[in-house]
Each structure stands twice: as C-alpha cells, then as structure tokens.
C-alpha cells in the first residue's frame, strides 16, 4: 500500500525540518511525501530542499489558505491512502505509518485514526492536552466531535466519493470534510487507542478562546450545509471535554 502524506506550510522555515525528519524516519518504505508551500517569504523552501530525504514533490505558490493547500496536495497524491501532517507536527514513533497501513489493509476499512498530543511549542516534552479520538462516533458530530485530523488517514476512494476540502471554511474545513466522510457516507473506520502525533500548541484550532468561538461558528455552518442536526448548546458541550483533556 502506497501512503501519501501531505504537509501544508507557510513561513515555517524554523519548524518544517522536524516534520520532514519525522516522515523520513518512518520505517514504512512506500511513502510519498508532498509539501505544499504557500509562497513563503522566509527560508521555508530552502529548508525543505536541504531536508528532502523523502520529499516526493515540493510546490511553492500562493494559495487561498490551508484547505486550498490541502486540495493541491490531494490532486497530486498517488497513494492508496492519504494523510496530512502539517508544519511543526511530528509522528510519535517511527512505526506510525506502518501501523496505519496495517489497519487500512483490514478488508472493508476505509479510515484509520488515533489520539493527538498537543504540546508546548517551546518544550515539546510538556503535554498540554491529549486529544482523545475514542469519544468519536458519527452520531457525535452534531456535538462537534471528530477524529484528530493529523492522525486521520483515508483511502483514496473516500476522497473520490466525498470530494475535496471546502475552501469557504477558514478553520473548520477538516470538520466539514469529516461530516461528509463519516456522517453522510458511513465510512468504516478503525481507531488506534494511543497518541500518534505531536502538535505544537498555537495552530489554527488551538489558539485560545477566540479560535474556539470561530471554529464553533464554522462547525454550526458546516452542519447546516450538510444537513446534520445540531445547535449552539450541543456544539458548546465539547468545550468542557477539551478542558478535561488538559488534566
């Protein structure tokens, strides 16, 4: 099974090397790593070229946000399975991709995901929160619950059925895609009950209360778009769960 990993980056020259190294060190041999850069003004492209042990494609051009970059990667990906690992994120072990491929080889399985560790950006050994994907079921999407996106791998056929990321969303495009994948298409999935990815705190979806409010608004709009019943109260109930995951 060929596995495509897509990394979106913009002005990530100080962080991209860790992500590239994390993919290059995977013990799985058949990986296609695609880096989509949004025409960075720093040394991102130079950093990619100097750490390109396993980079199959590098694209550097202006884009319309992270989901536009994701779609560019999807159009170039040739793997049987596709996942995303953004700039600064790293896999927690050398065997993550091989475990994903093994789970996706189970007949009928079209999606695999696990847990995510959100860590201190300056001190990566300090875990701020464990994003627990165990609570996810398709019926819980109306409450704003979804698998940890950096751990999610889908078979190519799923994207062929549900389409690309909707670029009208700025922060909840991955949630909206998951509505189509799990809510509307009933994709069969397997959950790996352990952390697979480290994500430094400070990304689009974990910048504090302002990003929490923005993503809640976009989740509400996504549910309306895809016909998934929800309301503001239901979506707000995920916030106490996020707080509990910090302890």
* Surface-to-core class of residue 57, CB atoms within 10 Å of its CB (0-12 exposed, 13-18 middle, 19+ buried): middle
- Please give the pLDDT value at position 185: 78
Reported as a single tens digit per residue, the pLDDT across 185-221 is: 789 999 999 999 999 987 555 455 678 889 999 999 9
Q: Is the pLDDT assigned to residue 33 strictly greater than 90?
A: yes
Domain extent, residue 20, equals: 3-244
- Please give the pLDDT value at position 242: 78
- Please give the pLDDT value at position 208: 55
Rounded to whole angstroms, the Cα distance separating 181 from 127 reads 30
Q: What is the mean pLDDT of residues 109-130?
A: 93
How many folded domains does the chain comprise?
Answer: 1
Rounded to whole angstroms, the Cα distance separating 195 from 116 reads 5
- Please give the pLDDT value at position 211: 82
- Please give the pLDDT value at position 72: 98
Q: Are 18 and 90 in contact (CB under 8 A)?
A: yes
Q: What is the sign, positive or negative, of the torsion defined by CA atoms of 56, 58, 76, 72? A: positive
- Please give the pLDDT value at position 247: 67
Q: What is the mean pLDDT of residues 68-95?
A: 98
Q: Is the pLDDT assigned to residue 122 strictly greater than 90?
A: no
Q: What CATH number does the domain containing 64 carry? A: 3.90.550.10
Confidence label for 58 from pLDDT (cuts 50, 70 and 90): very high
- Please give the pLDDT value at position 203: 56
Reported as a single tens digit per residue, the pLDDT across 140-191 is: 999 999 999 999 999 999 999 999 999 999 999 999 999 999 988 789 999 9
Q: What is the mean pLDDT of residues 8-29?
A: 96
- Please give the pLDDT value at position 204: 57
Cross-strand bridge partners of residue 113: 191
Q: Are 76 and 59 in contact (CB under 8 A)?
A: yes
Reported as a single tens digit per residue, the pLDDT across 233-246 is: 999 988 887 787 77
């Amino acid at each position: 099974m060929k596995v495509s990993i897509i990394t979106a980056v913009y002005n990530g020259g100080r962080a991209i090397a860790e992500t590239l190294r994390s993919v290059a060190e995977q013990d799985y041999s058949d990986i296609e790593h695609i880096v989509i850069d949004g025409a960075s003004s720093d040394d991102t492209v130079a950093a990619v070229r100097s750490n390109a042990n396993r980079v199959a494609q590098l694209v550097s051009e202006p884009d319309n946000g992270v989901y536009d970059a994701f779609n560019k990667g999807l159009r170039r990906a040739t793997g049987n399975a596709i996942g995303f690992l953004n700039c600064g994120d790293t896999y927690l072990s050398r065997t993550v991709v091989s475990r994903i491929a093994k789970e996706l080889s189970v007949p009928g399985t079209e999606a695999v995901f696990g847990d995510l560790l959100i860590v201190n950006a300056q001190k990566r050994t300090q875990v701020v929160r464990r994003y627990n994907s165990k609570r996810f079921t398709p019926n819980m999407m109306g409450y704003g619950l979804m698998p940890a996106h950096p751990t999610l791998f889908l078979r190519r056929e799923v994207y062929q059925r549900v389409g690309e990321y909707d670029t009208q969303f700025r922060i909840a495009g991955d949630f909206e895609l998951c509505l189509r994948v799990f809510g509307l298409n009933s994709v069969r999935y397997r959950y790996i009950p352990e952390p697979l990815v480290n994500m430094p705190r400070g990304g689009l979806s974990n910048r504090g209360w302002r990003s929490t409010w923005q993503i809640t608004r976009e989740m509400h709009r996504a549910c309306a778009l895809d016909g998934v019943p929800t309301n503001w109260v239901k979506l707000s109930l995920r916030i106490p769960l996020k707080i509990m995951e910090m302890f």
